[in-house]
Amino acid sequence: MERRAAGWTRSPDFSPKPASPDSVAPALGEPLPANRSRTYSGVMQERSRPPRTPPGLTLPAIAARLRAAGCVFAEDEARLLRSAAASPAQLGGMVERRAAGDPLEYVIGWGEFCGLRIAVGPGVFVPRHRTELLVREAVALLRPGAVVVDLCCGAGAVGAALVARIPGIELHAADIDPRAVGFARRNLDGSAASVHQGDLYAALPAGLRGRVDVIVCNPPYVPTAEIETLPREARLFEAAAALDGGSDGLALVRRVAAEAPSWLARGGHLLVECSERQAPVAVEVFAGCGLTPRPASDADLEATAVLGSMPA
């Protein structure tokens, strides 16, 4: 995430006030009284200073509050909160929300992904850095003018990253969650992308069948029994439907792979994120659907994906 310190500024108070004896300028040649030693410019400098930050809202104080609440990157988060807040009152509320356990991205209203600010809100899946592998693999396959589908798009992070990197692609993003669709439309606003609401391929225009060059999908792939082991921020705040992938985590992967051949163009590709443990099974699923599979991974991102290609 972008990290920058920020404060608040307030315009000087230039509203007219009744003159007081001390505010009347001395006559020409008259000595300045002892209690009038400050210059006009000094007075105006004092007036133009921003209001002092309340003691409990300085960066060190915020970091200490967050650290006590268990935030590992307290200093970085303090700067982000200061940057996002429009006033001390708003900052105070944001600090309390974060200290109470609300995800930082929900508190400041965005998450960083592939160098972009992706707007998110309560209940919407927060993009993970590991999904940047999916973007990188897709970019290597794309060219301007390509038709791309982003299934299970969430807030539209993957699609936004692809549009930013490959100008001129025809992007269609889809998700079943209306909240996610709303954020995807916001994050893709200004591009030529189309955002659809519905269940996987059912959300897409029928005219895309057989025309899609690349399908990218970051489906829910956490096995149901493992949901309770997820970090608190994901478990309690994100929609369960964005996390739960069924008994082995691959329920949606199977559905996506099964229908992909009827939507992909010749030589088209399907890219799906999964866990390292799930990759061998996902490879078998892709092969069983007529796709030539290839696993991909990135140790630094702790990311795994499976790619499947249609015959050329």
- pLDDT tens sequence across 202-214: 999 999 999 999 9
Mean pLDDT value of segment 82-103: 95
Quote the tokens at residue 208.
Answer: 């895309």
Q: Which residues are catalytic?
A: 125, 218-219
118-149 pLDDT per residue, tens = 999 999 999 999 999 999 999 999 999 999 99
In-domain check, residue 26 = no
Mean pLDDT value of segment 231-248: 95
**Same domain (yes/no): 222, 164:** yes
- Is the pLDDT confidence value at 32 over 70? no
| pTM for this predicted structure | 0.81
Instruction: Report how far Cα 36 is from the mean position of its chain's Cα atoms.
Output: 55
In-domain check, residue 9 = no
- The parent domain of residue 68 ranges over 55-101
- Is the pLDDT confidence value at 106 over 60? yes
Number of structural domains the chain divides into: 2
In-domain check, residue 229 = yes
Residues 6+ positions from 7 with CB-CB distance below 8 Å: 50, 53, 82
44 — pLDDT class (breaks 50, 70, 90): very low
**Same domain (yes/no): 77, 132:** no
**Same domain (yes/no): 174, 92:** no
**Same domain (yes/no): 168, 228:** yes
- Is the pLDDT confidence value at 56 over 80? no
7 vs 50: CA distance, rounded Å? 8
Pairing relationship of beta strands 303-309 and 292-298 according to DSSP bridges: antiparallel
**Same domain (yes/no): 291, 160:** yes
pLDDT for the residue 52? 63
**Same domain (yes/no): 76, 152:** no
Residues 6+ positions from 129 with CB-CB distance below 8 Å: 113, 301
Quote the tokens at residue 30.
Answer: 């008259």
174 vs 259: CA distance, rounded Å? 15
In-domain check, residue 185 = yes
261 — pLDDT class (breaks 50, 70, 90): very high
